[in-house]
Amino acid sequence: MHTDSLLVVENLSVSRSKKVVLDKVSLTIKRGEFVGLVGPNGGGKTTFLLTILGILKSNQGHVEFYGTRTPSNSILRKLGWVSQHASNIPKNVKLTVRELVQLGTLNSGNMFWRYNADQNARVDRAIRQADLQDVQSRSIHTLSGGQRQRAVIARVLASEAEFIILDEPLVGVDRNSRNYLLKFLDRLCHESQKTILMVSHDIAAIQRTSHRMIYLEERIRYDGASDCFPSLDELANLRGLERIHESVGIGEKLYQLKDTAEK
Output the domain CATH number for residue 200: 3.40.50.300
> Would residue 224 count as lying in a domain?
yes
> Would residue 106 count as lying in a domain?
yes
User: Cα(36)–Cα(13) distance, rounded to whole angstroms?
Assistant: 20
Point out the domain boundary residue: 158, 173, 207: 158
Closest CA to 203 of 82, 39, 48, 83: 39
Per-residue confidence (pLDDT) for residue 172, from 0 to 100: 83
User: Cα(54)–Cα(219) distance, rounded to whole angstroms?
Assistant: 19
**Same domain assignment for residues 72 and 183:** yes
Question: The dihedral of CA 173, 77, 4, 24: what is its sign?
Answer: negative
> Would residue 16 count as lying in a domain?
yes
Q: How many domains does the chain have?
A: 2
pTM, two decimals, is 0.85
Per-residue confidence (pLDDT) for residue 3, from 0 to 100: 58
**Same domain assignment for residues 173 and 257:** yes
**Same domain assignment for residues 51 and 171:** yes
**Same domain assignment for residues 24 and 54:** yes
The residues facing 220 across adjacent strands are 216
User: Cα(29)–Cα(9) distance, rounded to whole angstroms?
Assistant: 9
User: Cα(237)–Cα(134) distance, rounded to whole angstroms?
Assistant: 49
Cβ distance 87 to 173 under 8 Å? no
**Same domain assignment for residues 214 and 119:** no
**Same domain assignment for residues 31 and 59:** yes
User: Cα(225)–Cα(239) distance, rounded to whole angstroms?
Assistant: 19
**Same domain assignment for residues 151 and 189:** no
The DSSP bridge pattern shows strands 60-65 and 5-16 to be antiparallel
Burial annotation 91-128 (CB, 10 A radius, 16+ → b, else e): eeeeebbbebbbebbbeeeeeeeeeeeebeebbebbbe
Per-residue confidence (pLDDT) for residue 1, from 0 to 100: 40
**Same domain assignment for residues 171 and 132:** no
Burial annotation 169-184 (CB, 10 A radius, 16+ → b, else e): bbebbeeebbebbbeb
Enumerate the H helices of the chain as residue ranges: 45-52, 73-76, 97-102, 117-129, 145-158, 175-190, 203-209, 232-238, 250-262
pLDDT mean by block of 10 residues, the chain; 263 residues: 80 94 96 95 93 94 93 90 88 92 77 73 96 96 93 95 94 87 93 94 91 95 94 78 66 53 51
Per-residue confidence (pLDDT) for residue 234, from 0 to 100: 80
**Same domain assignment for residues 72 and 182:** yes
**Same domain assignment for residues 20 and 71:** yes
User: Cα(152)–Cα(82) distance, rounded to whole angstroms?
Assistant: 7
Q: Give the containing element (helix H, strand E) for 80.
A: strand 79-82
> Would residue 83 count as lying in a domain?
no
User: Cα(83)–Cα(225) distance, rounded to whole angstroms?
Assistant: 25
- Structural domain of 100: 91-158
> Would residue 84 count as lying in a domain?
no
